[in-house]
Structure 1
Amino acid sequence: MGYAFGLDDVAYLRSDAGCAALAELADLPLTPASRLSDVARARRVAPRHFAAVLETLLLRRGAAAKVPFRDGLFTDAALQQATPRPVAEHRAARFAGRVVHDVTCSIGADLAALPEGSVGSDLDPVRLAMARHNLGGSRTVLRADALRPVSRGVPVVADPARRDATGRRTWRPADFAPPLDGLAAAYADRDLAVKCAPGVDFAVAPWADEVELVSLDGQVREACLWTRGLATPGVTRRASVLRTGGPGWTITDAEPDDCPVTPPAEWLVDPDGAVVRAGLVRHYAARHGLAQLDERIAYLTGPVPPPGIRAFRVVEHGHYSEKALRSVLRAHDVGRLEILVRGLDVDPNTLRRRLKPAGAAEATAVLTRIGRTPTYLLARAERT
C-alpha cells in the first residue's frame, strides 16, 4: 500500500528544506540491496521525514510516463490509479472548449489535462495538498464530497477508487468509492464521464449512453462511461487504440459488422484488446476485409492483415493435441515458442514446459477452438 503520507509530510516536502533533502538524496540507488544504507543516509538528511522523502523519490522514478509533473508529489495508490498521459489527453479532448469539474481529482493528473478553467475536488486532504503542489496554481482545487455537488451547469468527470481498505483491487461497482450508481444519480442532469477499470461488467451501468474502451501501446487501460451530451449520437460502444508518439484510431458499433466465418487463410489477426473488450471484433473484421475462424472466438483471418499491427503468417494448422503440437514443433525446428490461447483450457506456461521445444527457429503456436474442434495454428509473427 506504500507509505501513509500526512499533511505534515506534504508541507515538509514542499518546503525549502524538503526540496533540498530530495535533491541531496536523488542519487540513492533505492534497490532492495541498498535499503539499509538508503534509510541510514535519509535519516541523517531528514530525520523526521526520511520515510516520506524515500517514498517520494521512489515514486518519482516511476511517474514520468504517467503524469506531467516533473517534481510531483504522489501517494503509491494515487499514482497507480492515475491515467497515463496520452489516455488522459484523449479523454480530455471530448471536453474541448468547456470548463469541467473533476469531482475525484486526487493528485491532479487528470485535472491537468482538462481545459483551462476546469476545477477539481476531492475528500482526501493529503491528495488535495499534493494536487495544489503538482498543479502549481493552474487549477482551482477544493475539498468536497463527489456525491454532494458543489458546482452547477458544467460537465463532470469522475475516477472512483477501485481498492478496498486493505489496498486490494475490487471489481464490484457498488464497492467503488464513490459507487457508480451514486455518481449517476448525483449528476443525472449533467454531462458525466466516469473512468472505470476495463474489466467491469458494463451491464451494471445502464445509465451510460456510450461505453468507450481505450488501449495504449497494446494494453487496455480503461473504460469510460459517457452520458448525455458527451456521448456520440448513434454510438453505444467504442474502442480507441492509442500509440505513444504515433497516430491512434477508433471504431464504433455504428459501423457495419458483416463478416464471414472461414477456415484459416494466409494471415491470423488477434485484434487489439480494446476492440475485443468493446465487443467490436466483427466491426473490425468488416472494416479490414477479414473473417472469423469461429463466430464466438476473437481471432480473425484473411489474405491481407491491417497495416501497423503485429499479425501472424500461418505456416500450418490442424487438430490440436499436445502430441500433435510437439511433432509439428520438431518438424519445423522450433525452439523459441510463443503460445497464444483463446477458447481452450490450456495454460501456456505449463504447456511450454511440457513441450520442451529445443530447435533453432522461432514461432507462435495459436491454440483455439473452431466449432467443437480444438485447433492449432503454427505461425510466424510479423510487423505489418
Structure 2
Amino acid sequence: MAYEFDVDDVTFLTSQRGADALADAARLPLTDASLLKDVPTLRGRHAPHEAALVETVRARRRAVGKLEDADELLLSDTSLQQSTPSAVAAHRAADIAGRHPGAVVHDVTCSIGSEMLALSAADGLGGVVGSDLDPVRLAMAAHNLRGRSGVQLVRADALAPCSQADVVIADPGRRTARGRTFRLDELDPPLLELLSVYAGRPLVVKCSPGLDYRMLRDRFGVDAAIQVTSLDGGVREACLWTEADDLPERRATVLRTVGDGAVHVDELTSDDSDEVDDPGVDDWIVDPDGAVVRAGLVRHYAHRHRLRQLDPQIAYLTGDTVPAGARGFRIVDRLGVTERALRSVLAAHDCGSLEILVRGLDIDPDRLRRKLKLKGSTPLALVLTRIGRNGVAFVCEPGVRH
C-alpha cells in the first residue's frame, strides 16, 4: 500500500534539508529487493521522514515518461496513478485556450497540480485556479507550481463553487475502498452532481475510458460532447465537454510521441464521413487505435484511409495498405477457429511464438496459446474474429506499426 503523506512530510520535503535528503535517497536503489536494507539507512539519516522519501523517489521514477520534469515533483504512487499524462494535459490546455481565449480556468479537483502545470504553460489563457479538499495535496501542488504566474490555489469542495472562472475542469476519483469503480454515483465527486452544479458554465470532466457516454445521453439527458484520447497506443481517458455546441458529438484524439518531446496529433470526429465500401478481405488487417474504437468512429476512420470492414459489427478493418501510425497484420492464411485446424496450420507455418488478437468471439488468448503447443521457430500473429455468424482465423505476419 502506498504511503500517505501528512503536512509535516510536505513541509520537510520542500525545505532545503528535505531537498538534500531527497538527493541522498535518489542515490539508493530503492527497489522491492533492496528496501529492507535501504529503509533503515534512510531512517538513520532522515527519521521520521524516511517513508516519505522512499515514496517520493520511487513515484518520481515511475513518473518518467508520463509527467514532465518528474524528478522535481512532489507526488505519491496514488496521485501519480490519478494524474493525466503531460502530453494529454498539454493538448487539452491548448484546446481550451483555442476555444476560450483569455479564459480563467478552474481545476476543482487539482490534487498535486499536474493538470494546472499544463494549463499555466498554455498560451492565451487568462489565469488558472486550483482547488482541492486535501490540504496535503494542495501543499504538494503549491510546490509543484512554484514560480508559475497567474496561478491561485484554494482549499474547497468541488461541489461548492468558489470562483467565477470561465471554464471548469474536474477529474472525479474512480477508486473506493473496494477498488476501482465505474458507477457514476460512486465517483468522487459524483458525475451527475458535478454536471448539475456547473450547469451553464463550460465544464470539462475527465472520466474512465470505459464511460458509457450513450447511457449518459439517453438515460440522463446529458448534453455533452465526448472526446476519447489515446497516447502511444493506449487509451487514457474519455472527456466530457459541456456547453460545447461548436464541438462534434464525438471525437477521437490520437496522440503519438515522435521524439524530442514532440507529439503528433491525429483527430477524427463524428462530423467526418463514414461512407465505406462493402465488407471484404484484402491484404492487410488494420487494428484501429483504441480511441477510434471507443468513440464509435471506426467507419469514419475507414473512410479517411480508404479501408473497409471485415464485418459491419466488428472493429477490425482491411485494406491494401496500412495508414501511418496504425498497426497492421499482413494475411498469410485464413481458416476456421477450431483448435485442431489452428494447430495444423500453425505447425505448417513453423510457428513458434504467437500474438493472438480477438474481437467478436469468446476466446481466451492465453488459454488458446497453451493448448496450441507451438514448437516451431517463426513468429506470427493470429487474428480471431467473426464474419457474419462464422468465426474466422487469420494467420498473419507479426504486427507492424507503419
Instruction: Give 1:383 deviation, angstroms.
Output: 3.3
Shift of 1:65: 2.1
Matched residue count? 381
For residue 270 of structure 2, the aligned residue among 253, 258, 279 is 253
* 1:312 and 2:329 matched: yes
**Alignment match, 2:243:** 228
Q: Give yes or no for the alignment of 1:334 onto 2:351.
A: yes
Q: What is the aligned partner in structure 2 of residue 103 from structure 1?
A: 108
Aligned to 1:157: 169
Cα distance in 1 between the residues matched to 2:335 and 2:310: 13
The one-letter code sitting in structure 1 at the alignment partner of 2:333 is E
* Structure 1 residue corresponding to 2:254, chosen from 241, 245, 250: 241
- 1: CA distance between counterparts of 2:301 and 2:131? 39
The amino acid that maps onto 2:144 is N
SS of the counterpart of 1:45?
helix
Give the secondary structure class of the aligned counterpart of 1:260.
Answer: coil
Q: Secondary structure at the match of 2:180?
A: coil
- Residue in 2 aligned with 1:147? 159
SS of the equivalent of 1:61 reads helix
In structure 2, list runs of 5 or more residues that go unmatched: none
Deviation of 1:347 after TM superposition, in Å, equals: 0.7
1:133 aligns with 2:143: yes
Q: How far did residue 304 of structure 1 move?
A: 2.2
C-alpha distance in 2, partners of 1:28/1:320? 52
> 1:204, CA displacement in angstroms?
4.3
1:5 match: 5
Between the aligned residues of both structures, percent identity stands at 52
The aligned residue for residue 325 of structure 1 is 342
Q: Is the 8 A contact 1:180 1:205 kept in 2?
A: no
- 1:282 paired with 2:299, answer yes
Aligned AA for 1:291?
A: R
Match in the other structure for 2:362: 345
2:377 to 360, 371, 374: 360
Contact 2:309-2:316 within 8 A present in 1 as well: yes
List per-residue Cα deviations over 1:58-91 (Å, max 9, x = no partner): 1111122222343211122111010001100111
CA distance in 2, matches of 1:165, 1:75: 18
Matched, 1:178 2:178: no
Distance of 1:325 and 1:225 partners within structure 2: 43
Structure 2 counterpart SS, 1:19: helix
Q: Secondary structure at the match of 1:148?
A: coil
| Structure 2 residue aligned with 1:113 | 118
Alpha-carbon contact 2:279-2:312 (below 8 Å) kept: no
Cα distance in 2 between the residues matched to 1:205 and 1:75: 32
Partner amino acid, structure 2, of 1:35: L
Match of 2:393, SS? strand
**Which string of whole-angstrom CA distances, capped at 9 and with x for unpartnered residues, describes residues 21-43 of structure 1?**
11122111111221111111011
3-state SS in 2 of match to 1:244: strand
Question: Distance in 2 between the 1:76 and 1:313 partners?
Answer: 40
Deviations 1:152-196 (A, max 9, x none): 151101111111135x11111111111111111111010110000
Could you tell me which residue of structure 1 aligns to residue 53 of structure 2?
53
- Aligned with 1:56: secondary structure? helix
Amino acid in structure 1 at the alignment position of 2:24: E
Separation (CA, whole Å) in 1 of partners of 2:17 and 2:180: 36
Please tell me whether the aligned partners of residues 218 and 273 of structure 1 are also in contact (alpha carbons under 8 angstroms). yes
TM-score (norm 2): 0.92
Q: Give unmatched runs, 5+ long, in structure 1.
A: none
Residue aligning to 1:15: 15
- Report the equivalent of 2:230: 215
- In the alignment, the residues of structure 2 paired with residue 67 and residue 127 of structure 1 have an alpha-carbon distance, to the nearest angstrom, of 17
Q: Given that residues 174 and 188 in structure 2 are in contact (C-alpha distance below 8 angstroms), is that contact kept between their aligned partners in structure 1? A: yes
Structure 1: which amino acid aligns with 2:192?
D
Q: Alpha-carbon deviations, 1:211-232, whole Å to 9, x = none?
A: 0000000000001100114x53
Which residue type is aligned with residue 41 of structure 2?
Answer: R
Contact 1:181–1:205, Cα closer than 8 Å, also in 2:
no
- State the shift of 1:203 in Å: 3.1
Where in structure 1 do 4 or more consecutive aligned residues deviate above 4 Å?
none
Mapped to 1, the partners of 2:133 and 2:62 lie a distance apart of 25
**3-state DSSP of counterpart to 2:237:** strand
Q: Give the whole-Å Cα distance in 1 for the aligned partners of 2:66 and 2:231.
A: 12
SS at match of 2:27: coil
Q: What is the TM-score of this pair, normalised by structure 1?
A: 0.96
